[in-house]
Amino acid sequence: MVTAAQQQTASAPDTDLAFPEGFLWGTATASYQIEGAAAEDGRTPSIWDTYARTPGRVRNGDTGDIATDHYHRWREDVALMAELGIGAYRFSLAWPRIQPTGRGPAVQKGLDFYRRLVDELLDKGIQPVATLYHWDLPQELEDAGGWPERATAERFAEYAALAADALGDRVKTWTTLNEPWCSAFLGYGSGVHAPGRTDPVAALRAAHHLNLAHGLAVQVLRDRIPADARCSVTLNVHHVRPRTDSGADADAARRIDALANRVFTGPMLNGAYPEDLFKDTAALTDWSFVRDGDLARIHQPLDFLGVNYYSPTLVSQADGSGTHTSDGHGNSAHSPWPAADGVAFHQPPGDTTAMGWAVDPTGLYELLQRLAADFPRLPLVITENGAAFHDYADPEGNVNDPERIAYLRGHLAAVHQAVQDGVDVRGYFLWSLLDNFEWAHGYSKRFGIVYVDYPTGTRIPKASARWYAQVARTGVLPGA
């Protein structure tokens, strides 16, 4: 049943909606997607460099070698944020730029880039929010086994210490991992993300060692950053809906919820893996890679949970009308859902973005309500939300993107409704500041509120940038 509140979030608000005082407005990016400078100042290949350079992996053979050239144009990008009145900037540190082999001392030139970036953000009154890992694992660590191996989590803790020691006096908000589900299940299960492996057991092992890496990193951060600094993790929490009210479809949703969400929220936030996950995957693994003491290491107090949301997930018991390849995460002969062959994925109804993802703000509202019920004392921050559309610059050099404005208005209305209904949401980060390298899609999808002309690197704020700037400055979502 759709409630009145959900109906309100399904369309643009008729009247202005004011967000609470102190609500944080930001934008977000990721290092491999924007930095470029792939071989400068000591940086060595990450798994995404290797993956993108492998023929057939990325559309048009695109790579992040140059990306949006943020490594050289960061002052321009910070100035753009300042002009737009953005209050916070969520960016990721490139592990192979700081610690090229994933071991040993830091490369100071790599750290200096982030020191300069953070200083410039602070000078412009923009709060830096640093993510330690947004998928660019040093290739040498993948060659040694990657995330399926426990040693990678231990190396991650050492890397976290280097970052905290260099930037902890400036950065007051830290995120350990971005979307570990993608790292584990798209990277090691379906192979549509780097490193491109297709082993369901390796995917489950990777999920556990990413959980462990998170816990170890939080411990390291707490030891090195000021007491008033904040620690978090960002999860792409799937809002899973059964296609019908049948028990079979409800069980399909339960299975996917375990693999998509509770595999991470269980150990990170409750200190235990869900028993149904163990039962569902028992034919694949006995989970003996979970060692004594791991769950205590993973279960660390957090200051908030970062939530990434784009579209809901619609599932049923498999009946021949859908397959795992229609789950919105890219086509592959291999499933990112271990031991879930009996689940079918379906395209949700309604309008879609250029990614083919359904536009459904009610999913965000329902997701926030669920997280508030499951973790009532944990504040939430929307760390990614946005959409790709077929943007282009007109002859006058303007980029009009009314579809994106409508998308943002609807989803911000959903956030506002959740706040009004008592959900503790502290901020919203729009994905993304810039058009950029969109992983296996290369440069074919544009998520930015700033248009990037890739041949020249020229930045052009889209109509959505001006619209979002007004919302960020005033804290008021205008009515339609």
Q: What is the pLDDT of residue 11?
A: 57
Peptide bond into 432 cis (omega under 30): yes
- Tell me the Ramachandran region of residue 271: left when phi exceeds 0, alpha when psi lies from -120 to 50, beta otherwise: left
- How far apart, in whole angstroms, are the C-alpha atoms of residue 362 and residue 413? 10
Task: Describe the crossing of helices 150-167 and 108-123 by its angle, rounded to 10 degrees.
Answer: 50
- How far apart, in whole angstroms, are the C-alpha atoms of residue 326 and residue 172? 39
Which residue ranges in the chain fall short of pLDDT 70? 1-12, 320-326
Place of tokens 């069980």: 251
CB 443 within 8 A of CB 453: no
Tokens of 357: 């993802």
Distances (CA, A) of 463 to 253, 306, 443: 38, 27, 20
Q: What is the pLDDT of residue 14?
A: 83
> β-strand 450-453 against 173-178: which pairing, if any?
unpaired
How many residues are recorded in the chain? 480
Q: What is the pLDDT of residue 24?
A: 98
Q: What is the pLDDT of residue 325?
A: 55
Name which of 148, 159, 258, 251 is nearest 209 in CA terms.
148
- How far apart, in whole angstroms, are the C-alpha atoms of residue 423 and residue 417? 9
Q: Show which residues are catalytic.
A: 179, 384
Q: How far is CA 183 from the centre of its chain?
A: 10
Q: What is the pLDDT of residue 449?
A: 98
C-alpha angle 245-250-255 in degrees, rounded to nearest 5: 160
CB 19 within 8 A of CB 419: yes
CB 295 within 8 A of CB 303: no
Tokens of 179: 């979307």
- How far apart, in whole angstroms, are the C-alpha atoms of residue 68 and residue 147? 28
